[in-house]
Structure 1
């Protein structure tokens, strides 16, 4: 009887506790519990780096598609990824300025963007919505982008996944590309969970990012405009499918992560003119240049020359109208940051914009930085970024090629576009200057203070020590351990047969071998110099290096241009060149702005 006497009270207590735990679970974020990132099926499939993957693009009229590539309009196709077919997929050329570079050289080897969900919002490749296929332009090594992303990921940076993929078109060889995870919904959910924050890709009219995605962009007119008033015009481009007729004879594999048992993330941006639902495809069997003018004829105006690169009290480096892309706080007006907000990759509200501006203000004031910057993430980002010497970036004169992530007022950087890293942006510069590039004054085309996302590291002794400590860990883990040498040798051996048979490559196979050797040598010498800068035997600032050049690592046996750079003319490319073997008409001079 005693048991029955208390049964009602026991049940009430259990119900009350259940209610408490339910409420706590539903409001976990309020108690500081962070949502775990979500594993994606595509990570272990397409982005398995132990092999070269295969992607067959099946499209009705490839020649017509190539003719319209510079318009960046989507066309209907099917893609067969490692023998798994996906029909009714959208494809377009990508790359902004590299689009005009490819076209001006008479080569059809464009980079591509594949949208699995372009025509069907529920379609994806094991959870992947957007896939970038990079053409590896201006990179004789075939490994600059790959290596930079691998370094970032290995060091704990939220970097896009990548792997090599040999592309065929309607069953015919096209070339070896780098497959890169699009920095969009799937990337955000993989790294930050379904409750992710806001994403931006800052790009300015003056510095090349907002040039209309490469559509109809005229570099000569842009340079003339720059010389006249420091501003450039922003072309407009629209995107729509160029065909509603689907390729024939493809049987879809049906691997759509999230279409039945998981919910697709909310649309995080304006869809690029989806173009409507195409008719269902019948089933069947699978078918068998010079860089921009630099002062004094050398490096971009920045930390390595002419007394530039001071950390404090120096003006310079920013061109008119580009303060927002440098993440400089100017005022509280939303209109002052249009180069950020116009390039939002998520649906941002006025509240989101004001929150970002408030974070920029606090970051620029260098007060309680940990409240508005993800200290760990950003320092790790700059350790790898400053190691690889990429000046077609936030720390270069172009001030682009990065994503800005914000969640609850805290900022971090997401890496993007490293095909001109390892000195490729400047081209044919003194190898010793690049190998020894100072890690404490790493900005080219400005000063450290002109890049607020970087400046806070050097304004606080504790943060600078952490930066140096992380650099030591990076060098020890990646280079002193022997990992880098083993890894790059394996990658070269893996891709060599595909490079050799690549019919549209931008260099000869011999140039690839020479470039790969140069890249390996550059990295080993760079690691040696950074170790010296960290232990004090080599100065870590530009002024210090100018005063004591005898301590620098000797890189006289290294030729930077062997790796490929902005001077590449594609003249050595053997085999077919797409729709025609037109010779280069002129040199192009701009850095690459790879659209995401």
Structure 2
């Protein structure tokens, strides 16, 4: 007969045996999962660790539904190990249900429903340590736009604009183009007649150096208050100065949009001039990129209706001098001026003559010493949308656009957004350069302006440098590469080519004062593809040299 001590000992031994079997099963499953998920490499129990850095990036970070967003884990790394797994929570439900390990952390996802999204990346190294990072972006419903962009800026076709005016008005425009004489005309825009609209030449350098093919502005409510075309007050026809392909500006705006930078919509139009007091037919003047103007509607559709009233400044170094963001003092009279105008050209609220916000921005960017990187970042983030600026600089750098902030202090807008309480960076008048080996990091002070302090401050931060590199990498991978540029260039060249050579030909190539010989249009588009190929290779090599350990 078993006594109580013997019975307890046997009971204990039996449960110890069961526990041992359970532990063997658990460790066996763990070993099986390790082999399944980590290729046979031994891993420890997953633990969040500061030795692992996750860096999540997304492009674009805002746009209209449906929106395809591209994600990157570029810049993620582990100290003393390698990243073994990249996982994304792409729908924001808290589950890492998309494994991007085979793609090196890159993936994309189509967002059909408007909303604010927060997407999380989790990276795990070969030691079982992990880290997470998040990106956020906004998907807007097209119906929330006050402008029907998809009709007005339909870029699948070239549509016609006719300008009907008297011979005397037409002649007066050419007496002194830089006077920008405005005529009252009728305009037939894509078949819709608008009466008594303003029509004049526009621009600075593009006006002086363009021969007969001038840039134009159509002002729908210049003479009839409130007259609009699909809720737009002005139509801007740019003349592709220095670009015989007629494609560079269109592609640059598309690249900005892909990057997530607030960018104008662009479509192609054919412009005809009809002097109505003679019997001659209308004259074909050329194919123009019609670019969305930066105005209140533009701002409301990008930053919300509550953003109304914020100061808008335009950089135009030829007209007013460069907007360099250098801190000169506490009075606007301390700042550079040209032609009787301050460099920071106010596009609205002119009567208030209040420049305190732009002076505050310059003080933050250039007039303050910061003890730490964190202090610098906090100050900059409170004054300007640094993320948008990094995306903008990534595009400008890839395109080798020298006529921009780091070099000339030109061709951009600053909008003081009353909703966020900080400035937004808006691109304008975009171009391409021709140097495929231009530096990965732009440097201020090598162009017209003495310094570019915002560039200097941003790139003094290791965090901002890493984010900038991730944006360059995303653009090279998904947009600015030989394959995509070839597709885009060929598509738009085929679209506009029949119109360029119609009738007496586009004034950029034909007539008394062309900008280019006719064969330039036929051949120059191939230069864009070659540049994209060479630039992509150069910058990819530069990124390798900047890679994390």
* TM-score category of the 2 structures, normalised to the smaller one: 0.5 to 0.7
Where do residues 313-332 of structure 1 align in structure 2 (5 Å cutoff)?
325-332=323-330
Q: Which of these residues, 71, 82, 97, is aligned with residue 190 of structure 2?
A: 82
TM-score normalized by the length of structure 2: 0.63
Partner of 1:490: 491
Distance in 2 between residues matched to 1:447 and 1:334, nearest whole Å: 21
Distance in 1 between residues matched to 2:528 and 2:182, nearest whole Å: 36
Distance in 1 between residues matched to 2:239 and 2:520, nearest whole Å: 16
1:390 counterpart SS class: coil
Partner of 1:524: 533
Q: Which of these residues, 414, 420, 425, is aligned with residue 404 of structure 1?
A: 414
Q: Which of these residues, 177, 187, 194, is aligned with residue 288 of structure 2?
A: 177
Distance in 1 between residues matched to 2:426 and 2:332, nearest whole Å: 23
Partner of 1:199: 312
Where do residues 541-552 of structure 1 align in structure 2 (5 Å cutoff)?
none
Q: Tell me the CA shift for residue 70 of structure 1.
A: 2.5
How big is each residue's C-alpha offset from its partner over 1:278-326, in whole Å with a ceiling of 9 and x where there is no partner? xxxxxxxxxxxxxxxxxxxxxxxxxxxxxxxxxxxxxxxxxxxx6x721
How big is each residue's C-alpha offset from its partner over 1:380-428, in whole Å with a ceiling of 9 and x where there is no partner? 11110111111122222x3222212222441232111224x223xxxxx
Distance in 2 between residues matched to 1:357 and 1:511, nearest whole Å: 45
Q: Tell me the CA shift for residue 334 of structure 1.
A: 2.2
Partner of 2:319: 209
Partner of 2:507: 504
Q: Which of these residues, 30, 51, 61, is aligned with residue 157 of structure 2?
A: 51
Q: Tell me the CA shift for residue 341 of structure 1.
A: 6.7
Distance in 2 between residues matched to 1:468 and 1:512, nearest whole Å: 34
Does 2:391 align with 1:380?
Answer: yes
Distance in 2 between residues matched to 1:75 and 1:116, nearest whole Å: 12
1:524 counterpart SS class: helix
Q: Which of these residues, 217, 220, 223, is aligned with residue 119 of structure 1?
A: 223
- Number of aligned pairs? 374
Specify the structure having the higher radius of gyration (Cα): 2
Q: Tell me the CA shift for residue 124 of structure 1.
A: 1.1
Partner of 2:436: 435
Q: Tell me the CA shift for residue 40 of structure 1.
A: 3.5
How big is each residue's C-alpha offset from its partner over 1:529-570, in whole Å with a ceiling of 9 and x where there is no partner? 1111111189xxxxxxxxxxxxxxxxxxxxxxxxxxxxxxxx
Partner of 1:371: 382
Distance in 2 between residues matched to 1:98 and 1:483, nearest whole Å: 29
Partner of 1:358: 360
Change in 2 beyond 3 A, CA 1:63/1:449: closer
For the 8 Å contact 1:341–1:353, the answer to whether it is kept is: no
Q: Tell me the CA shift for residue 446 of structure 1.
A: 4.9
Distance in 2 between residues matched to 1:166 and 1:79, nearest whole Å: 13
For the 8 Å contact 2:315–2:323, the answer to whether it is kept is: yes
For the 8 Å contact 2:397–2:441, the answer to whether it is kept is: no
> RMSD over aligned Cα, in angstroms?
2.7
Distance in 2 between residues matched to 1:472 and 1:356, nearest whole Å: 32
Greater RCO structure (CA 8 Å; 6+ sep):
1
Partner of 2:346: 344
Partner of 1:71: 179
Change in 2 beyond 3 A, CA 1:155/1:342: closer
Partner of 2:214: 110
Unaligned 5+ segments in structure 1 are: 1-33, 211-321, 424-433, 539-596
For the 8 Å contact 1:386–1:442, the answer to whether it is kept is: no
Distance in 2 between residues matched to 1:110 and 1:481, nearest whole Å: 32
Q: Tell me the CA shift for residue 481 of structure 1.
A: 9.2
Partner of 1:186: 297
Distance in 1 between residues matched to 2:235 and 2:335, nearest whole Å: 29
Distance in 1 between residues matched to 2:354 and 2:462, nearest whole Å: 32
Change in 2 beyond 3 A, CA 1:88/1:42: farther
Does 2:271 align with 1:167?
Answer: yes
Distance in 2 between residues matched to 1:65 and 1:435, nearest whole Å: 40
Q: Which of these residues, 523, 527, 530, is aligned with residue 514 of structure 1?
A: 523
The structure richer in strand per residue is 2
Q: Tell me the CA shift for residue 346 of structure 1.
A: 1.3
Distance in 2 between residues matched to 1:119 and 1:407, nearest whole Å: 31
Distance in 1 between residues matched to 2:228 and 2:206, nearest whole Å: 27
2:542 counterpart SS class: helix
Distance in 2 between residues matched to 1:336 and 1:407, nearest whole Å: 25
Distance in 2 between residues matched to 1:487 and 1:533, nearest whole Å: 25
Unaligned 5+ segments in structure 2 are: 1-137, 275-281, 371-375, 509-514
Change in 2 beyond 3 A, CA 1:376/1:352: farther
Partner of 1:157: 261
Distance in 1 between residues matched to 2:359 and 2:268, nearest whole Å: 39
Where do residues 229-244 of structure 1 align in structure 2 (5 Å cutoff)?
none
Q: Which moved more, 1:336-345 or 1:154-163?
A: 336-345
For the 8 Å contact 1:90–1:119, the answer to whether it is kept is: yes
